[in-house]
Amino acid sequence: MTATWIPVILCAPGDEKSLAEIAPVASVVAVTDHDGHLVFRPTTATGIAASNDIPPASIYRDAVGFFAASPKAAVVYDKLSAFWLAQFGKAKPPAFSDLSKAPGGSALAAYAQICAGQFQSLHQRNSRLMRELGVVRAAHDDMQSSFARLEAFFYQNNRSERISSMTLPVHRKQRPVELRAGIELEQRLPLDSSGICDVAISVRSLPRSKVGVLRASLELKESGKTVAVWMIPAAKITLDWLRLSLDRALNADSQTPILRLNWDGDSPLLLNTSFFHPDPRFMPFPQSPLLALEIWKYVPGAQATMSPNGILPQGVGGPNTWNIGRSLLREAVAVSADKDNVLYSEPLTGLLVKPSSETMTVARLDRAAQTGVHHLYGGIKTEDVTGPVSEYAYGLCPSRLRPIIGQALPVFDKGMASEWYPLTPNEWSELHLILTEPLEEPHDLFLMTRLAKGETAEVPPECCFFRITARGGDAAAMLERTE
């Protein structure tokens, strides 16, 4: 409440003197007839005030009763009733109280009666509203609980991943956008905000100086809210796609998402661009093409498993589950093997790593296992009806060693590779790699297959790795690592 409301008691002219006792708790207003028009005038202890008529709207808002202290009051009340109907479309003005019938003929007693009646009415209304609120709350709780379970089911069972909703591809032959210190780049995203969980921009070339921070923020235009801010030091900026992830997909309230980029480095940061679009609202700078973008969506408002290459915004704790899904499997690199034996299968939605009779076949997923990963597991299956028994294994090697190792197969540290897991054709199973300690730095993940001892194959079997889940250790350990 921002101002004190004072109730009004109406009365006939002349009756105000009998109502003086209620002045401390209510205003007394006389209803006077001026040439057929009713006028409402405040009263004082000495009588009716000469001026300052009170507007009818205020009277309607404030009046709680009409007190009659004389026989002529009934006539005034009749006029008031007619006025009420004509002015407000309501048949009954505030209740008529005959003071002679009040306990002790007291105005205060009559006022107390009105207050009691209003209290009762308010109590009834409040209790009804609380009951209704309870019903709504129960329905809300039920819905939230169901949704949370559904969300957890997806999250735990890794049966879905963030869906790439729109890609504005990189136009390599096109000039990049130059992000200079002190200049904000605003890129309106070409879809609504509902369910957005990741936005990737594409870096053309790393800044010459390793000094500087890229600040990216995602803002919703209609509500004016900034829903996420990413701070990425120059040293952590990588070439090509830089994936800005949200822990939880934006809710279902569709708004216009705006990505704002600020860079404070010494040398400009060059970002790849996509096509030109004539709608100026989508131009990051006048007459410039759109930024190259990839945008993912998920169930609105739901927590989604992270991609290993996603960067979380400020203020969000590190994830304890990553999804090594289609987008990473598609980018697998063949290691020490015939490149034709490592390929992503769209129909199978998995990565084929086909062993030959002579040697194992290995695929590498760069930086697929992030700091904190403690446990990796995913589906495997040899997509042949008949054939040899094949064996599957995971292996991990720090990403920083890649330039040294090159395309060779590393020697995995103890505990950093799984046992070989034999599998007969057309049988689905899960492969696990449980580490003794959570990873302390990002690792490349190696997916390996070979024929079981004594087995031969004229045609390499269709050994397939499916989506892999990477889980972290306990939350406390993870927070420590994040810091």
Binding site for another protein (CB under 8 A): 1-5, 55, 57, 60-62, 85-90, 125, 175-178, 180, 183-186, 188, 190-192, 221-224, 252, 254, 256, 260, 268, 270, 273, 275-279, 282, 284-290
Nearer to another protein, 36 or 224 (CB): 224
Least distance between another protein and beta carbon 13 (Å): 25
The residue (of 173 and 453) whose beta carbon lies closer to another protein is: 173
- Contact in structure between 418 and 377 (CB atoms under 8 Å): no
**310 contacts 198 by C-beta, under 8 angstroms:** yes
Nearest to 69 by CA among 112, 34, 28, 119: 28
For the bound state, the minimum distance from the C-beta of residue 53 to another protein, rounded and expressed in Å, comes to 13
Task: Give the number of other CB atoms < 10 A from CB of residue 430.
Answer: 13
- CB nearer to another protein: give 268 or 355: 268
Residue 275 backbone dihedrals phi, psi, to 5 degrees: -80, 160
136 sits in which H/E element: helix 107-157
Q: Among residues 25, 29, 6, 26, which one has the least CA distance to residue 16?
A: 29
- Give least dist CB 258 to another protein, A: 10
CB of 211 to another protein, least distance (A): 20
Q: How far is the CB of 84 from another protein (least distance, A)?
A: 9
Decide whether 51 or 287 has the Cβ nearer to another protein: 287
Give the residue with the Cβ less far from another protein, 245 or 272: 272
For another protein, the closer CB: 46 or 287: 287
With CA atoms as reference, report the closest residue to 463 among 420, 423, 408, 407. Answer: 423
How many beta carbons lie within 10 A of that of residue 318, not counting itself? 18
CB-nearer residue toward another protein: 57 or 74: 57
Q: Name the minimum Å distance from CB 28 to another protein.
A: 18
Q: Which two tokens stand for residue 123?
A: 């109590």
By three-state DSSP, how is residue 190 classified? coil
Strand 342-345 and strand 350-353: the pairing is antiparallel
Considering the complex, what minimum distance in angstroms separates the CB of residue 268 from another protein?
8
Contact between residue 357 and residue 457 where contact means Cβ atoms under 8 Å apart: yes
Instruction: Give the separation between CA 129 and CA 122, rounded to whole angstroms.
Output: 10
Q: How far is the CB of 109 from another protein (least distance, A)?
A: 23
Q: Alpha-carbon distance 391 to 273, whole Å? A: 44
Nearer to another protein, 106 or 194 (CB): 194
Question: Whole-angstrom Cα distance, residue 277 to residue 242?
Answer: 22
